[in-house]
Amino acid sequence: MSTPRSKKGNGSQDVDPTPALGKTIQRLRKAYNMSLGELSEQSGVAKSIISQIERNETNPTLSTVFRLSRALETSIDEVLKADSGTAFLDHQMKSAIPILESQDGLCRLAIIGPLNLIELTQWYDFQAKPAGLLESDPHPPGTVEHLYLLKGEVEITVGDEVRVAKAGEAIRYRADMPHKIRNTGDGEAHANMILMLRQLGNPA
């Protein structure tokens, strides 16, 4: 259980929350499109207590923070991490950017999003040489892929349906089905891709 701040120092395993704790819980909850009731049901923490935590009106126990972090699919360290106040949260050097290649070696995917969010949202920089083919297995139910083509022309196949996208166009499609992207242009294709593994409105 959580205890009011006025009872701090009573020897219980209460967490002395940073100002960022409540905001972090609320941000993660909203990112998963969860209501207070849904988070309460999945974590076993009372809805009223979660509300108080988000408003920084109570000191949660470590057990409570653990249950919330587990329900929000993150670590207790991330939830309790204090806001450093710095404007820059991360800076990955070129050598630290993960690079994936297609089986034919003609497509390149740079993972440009934060790795700690890959189970929720993934950002990619996609480049393909002429005739390059990127084939993907189905992602979890409800997954949607958003592609904005910066350069070239690509053909996107989802199941039995095919669409063509050209430079300056955006296309969104189900990624919980087998899908593939083929460069059908004469030159290189370049696109930004965002994969939403939990589309709004879909259950966790």
176 C-beta neighbours (distance < 10 Å), count: 17
Mean pLDDT of 144-161: 97
Please identify which residue in the block is written with the tokens 């959580």.
2
- Is the pLDDT higher at 64 or at 132? 132
- Cβ atoms 134, 126 nearer than 8 A: yes
Q: Among residues 100, 105, 127, 135, which one has the least CA distance to residue 115?
A: 100
19 pLDDT tier (thresholds 50, 70, 90): low
The tokens for 95 are 């050598």
DSSP 10-72: SSS-B----HHHHHHHHHHHHHTT--HHHHHHHH---HHHHHHHHTT-EE-BHHHHHHHHHHT
- Cβ atoms 184, 164 nearer than 8 A: yes
**For the segment 119-131, what is each residue's pLDDT rounded down to a tens digit?**
788 899 999 999 9
pLDDT at 97 over 60: yes
pLDDT at 197 over 60: yes
Least confident of 16-25, 38-47, 122-131: 16-25
- Is the pLDDT higher at 146 or at 202? 146
Q: Among residues 105, 127, 115, 142, which one has the least CA distance to residue 193?
A: 127
Q: Give the pLDDT of residue 198.
A: 66
Winning range, highest mean pLDDT, from 1-10, 61-70, 149-158, 193-202 = 149-158
pLDDT at 11 over 50: no
149 pLDDT tier (thresholds 50, 70, 90): very high
Mean pLDDT of 48-70: 88
187 pLDDT tier (thresholds 50, 70, 90): very high
Instruction: Give me the torsion for CA of 35, 141, 44, 119, rounded to 10°.
Output: -90
